[in-house]
Amino acid sequence: MEIAGKLGHILFPPRCLGCGVLSSKLCIACESEWSQKNLITALPETIVYSSRHYSNTAQHILLAAKEHGIEKAKSYICSAINDAISHIPRIETVRALIVPIPSQKSAIRKRGHNFLADIVATLGKENRKETANILIHRRSVLDQSRLPARERFENLAGALSTTRTLGRGELVILVDDLVTTGATLGEAVKTLEGAGFKVICAVTACVALPLR
Ligand SMILES: [Zn+2]
C-alpha cells in the first residue's frame, strides 16, 4: 500500500490546485488569492456572507471540487463556507436549518456526487446545526454560469420548489458555493419564504463582483 502510495506520488506528484505548479498545498501566490476575507453582499432578498473573492485560484478550486470531486478541493470549499458561517452575528445562538442550493439531477448523475449536499452535511456536523435538502428543481434549467446576468434571473424564475411546504417560520441559512448575480439565492429565498420558512441569511465560499 505504502509502495503504491509512493509510486502514485512519483507518477502523479501533488500540484497546487490553483495553478498546477508542483506543490503539496496551495503555492504562495494562490494561497494569497485564496486568503480569508469578511465579505458581505446585500441582495434585495437577503444578506450574503462570503469568505473568499472569486479569483483564478477560486475558479480552479471550485471546478476541481465540483466537477472532479477532488477531496482536497472540497475541503477548501468546506473551510471557506465555514469561515463565512463564522461571520454571521451570534451564530452560536442561532437555531436555523442549513439548506443547500440544489443541483439538478442531471448534474449529480454526471458528477457522480452531490457536491453541495455533501459539503452541507459536513458543515452541519461541524457547526452542530440541523441540515435539510428541502429545495429541489421543479423543472430543468440551463447552466447559470453560461448565461449573461439578465438571463440568469429568467432562467431560474419559478424553477425551484420545496419538499416541505408547511414551514412555520423556521429559520434557514442558505448555502451556495458562489454568488455572482444573486439570481439563484434570490429565487431560493422567494421559494422558501413562499413555503413559510424565514431565510435569515445566505453563506457562500466565494463572491464575484460586480454583482449586477
Ligand atoms: Zn498555485
| Mean pLDDT on 135-141 | 88
Integer Cα distance of 102 and 142 in angstroms: 14
pLDDT at residue 61 in the model: 96
Cell 430543468 -> residue:
140
Sequence spans of domains, the chain: 1-33, 35-207
pLDDT at residue 148 in the model: 82
Assign 179 to helix, strand or coil: strand
* pLDDT tens, position by position, 93-109: 889 999 999 988 888 88
Report whether CATH 3.40.50 matches the domain 35-207: yes
Ligand 1 centre distance from Cα of residue 46 (Å): 34
Q: Is the pLDDT of residue 36 over 60?
A: yes
Q: Is the pLDDT of residue 76 over 50?
A: yes
pLDDT at residue 58 in the model: 97
Ligand 1 centre distance from Cα of residue 25 (Å): 8
Q: Is the pLDDT of residue 175 over 90?
A: yes
pLDDT tier at 121, thresholds 50, 70, 90: very high
Cell 450574503 -> residue:
48
| Mean pLDDT on 113-141 | 90
Grid coordinates standing for 35? 486568503
Task: At 194, give phi and psi (nearest 5°).
Answer: -65, -25
Q: Is the pLDDT of residue 145 over 70?
A: yes
Q: What residues are paired with 137 via a beta bridge?
A: 160
DSSP 152-172: HHHHHTT-EEES-----S-EE
pLDDT at residue 6 in the model: 67
Ligand 1 centre distance from Cα of residue 84 (Å): 23
Ligand 1 centre distance from Cα of residue 209 (Å): 22
pLDDT at residue 212 in the model: 46
Ligand 1 centre distance from Cα of residue 206 (Å): 17
